[in-house]
Amino acid sequence: MIWYPYAQMKTMTPPLKVNGADGVYLHTDGGKLIDSVSSWWSVIHGYNHPVLNAAIEEQLHKFAHVMLGGLTHEPAERLSEKLASWLPKDLDYCFFSDSGSVAVEVALKMALQFNVNRGTDRSKILALKNAHHGGMSNAIEDSALHLNANCANGRNKILALKNAYHGDTFKTMEAGDDSDYHFAFPQKNGVIHIPTQTDALEKVFREHGEEFYCMLVEPLLQGAGGMKMYGVEFLKRARELCDEYDVLLIFDEVATGFGRTGNRFVADLVCPDILVLGKALTGGYIGHAVTVANRKVFNGFYGDDERLALMHGPTFMGNALACSVALASIELFESGNYIEKIKRIENVCKKELADLKDPRIREVRVLGGCACIEVYEPETLCGFKEFAARRGVFSRPFGTCMYAMVPYIITEEQLQTVLGVMKQWFFRK
């Protein structure tokens, strides 16, 4: 049997069965529903898109997958070149993986090893070698490196945000701050969480700046941690402080990338050292993700010494079908005026939700292609999913958040339906 995600298998309501999907619609055994959450925020062009289908079919006739260890192929080469030219500044070095969580793990591992590598004091090892008349044993050299690996240049902490969510693997759970998802795994070794306030940011850097090997954030919009939105000023100050204290800045844009905040990437506004993309990378077609490093990070691994290399390699990294569909998805994004489409979605959401007031509602927030109605009590949203489904909308509220993150190809009428259902929930008798 299927073990479903985030669900108590004994008490969960049976999931709707999908028999087909096209555009914004899911054809389920409970009827035709607009998917207001874009299959966990990934299906930006809608389902069954002819261009994306064709990209996969074309590649399928050549081959579906080969590993990237010792082999390479055109779709992965073209996608990495496209990303290098499309992403800001020198975010040019693409490490592929199969999911957002793994890609964040890779980013953290990169940041930690970047510091290990540069903490590896080559001149000291050389001096030692010479003292041993050029014959320093590998064992001594290894233990010198091992020492460094343990201290990562004296830096052993991650700076992260309160309400952060970065995935469900162990290190991403530690960097996250969301007990709804990870309450059974409370350990937070070497992670400091701060609110998205500049004074807290400045204070933590004053007190711990030299201890961080990276700062990891979901920029502008924190998704699974409660659809929290914050301003770009915080990120600009974070960039300055990371530069001042020599800390790598990582943007987890697994959810925010490809337009969700109204920007192509938040990295266009403030450039991180490492950028993580997933979800919409493939238009939501195939699980794939990428960790993109800038030149400084890449150079920290580059050299004659094998031990400076990044020892990571997911079996399905650079999957040829995923890379092909990602290229087609980016072309659609570029040629289809998506930023304008998202602006339209944002304007409609703001207009429709502007006057929504109810004593159960804490706040209404809209940013780009994300609209959230946060209530005080999770019980307020009990039954909303079924209510929405009866009115033609698939929704999946969580905690105190009722939200819409629609496919960008949604028509205004379809969007009105989604927002109308969200509002009706509060007006119903």
Ligand X SMILES: Cc1ncc(COP(=O)(O)O)c(C=O)c1O
If the CB atoms of residues 394 and 425 are measured against ligand X, the closer one turns out to be 394
Query: With binding defined as CB under 6 A, does residue 278 bind ligand X?
Result: yes
**Binding track over 321-340 against ligand X, x by CB under 6 A:** --------------------
Close Cβ partners of 100 (under 8 Å, ≥ 6 residues apart): 167, 252, 254, 255, 276, 278, 279, 289
In the three-class reduction of DSSP (H, G, I as helix; E, B as strand; rest coil), residue 251 is classed as: strand
Which residue, judged by CB position, is nearest to ligand X in the bound state?
100
Query: Please, are residues 218 and 164 in contact by the beta-carbon 8 Å criterion?
Result: yes
Query: Please, are residues 111 and 213 in contact by the beta-carbon 8 Å criterion?
Result: yes
Least Å distance between CB 103 and ligand X?
A: 8
How does DSSP classify residue 209? G
Part in contact with ligand X (CB under 6 A); list of ranges 13-21, 73-81, 216-224, 364-372: 216-224
∠ CA(86), CA(99), CA(334), 5° rounding?
A: 25
- CA-derived radius of gyration, the chain: 23
Part in contact with ligand X (CB under 6 A); list of ranges 47-55, 94-102, 326-334, 381-389: 94-102
One residue of 166, 171, 260, 341 binding ligand X per CB under 6 A: 166
Least Å distance between CB 165 and ligand X?
A: 6
One residue of 52, 159, 224, 404 binding ligand X per CB under 6 A: 224
Side chain identity, residue 400: T
Query: With binding defined as CB under 6 A, does residue 100 bind ligand X?
Result: yes
Query: With binding defined as CB under 6 A, does residue 255 bind ligand X?
Result: yes
Close Cβ partners of 76 (under 8 Å, ≥ 6 residues apart): 68, 96, 318, 320, 323
Distances (CA, A) of 36 to 23, 394, 408: 12, 6, 10
If the CB atoms of residues 33 and 224 are measured against ligand X, the closer one turns out to be 224
Query: With binding defined as CB under 6 A, does residue 254 bind ligand X?
Result: yes
Neighbours of 427 (CB within 10 A): 9
Query: With binding defined as CB under 6 A, does residue 104 bind ligand X?
Result: yes
One residue of 174, 177, 211, 252 binding ligand X per CB under 6 A: 252
Where along the sequence are the contacts to ligand X (CB under 6 A)?
99-101, 104, 165-167, 218, 223-224, 252, 254-255, 278
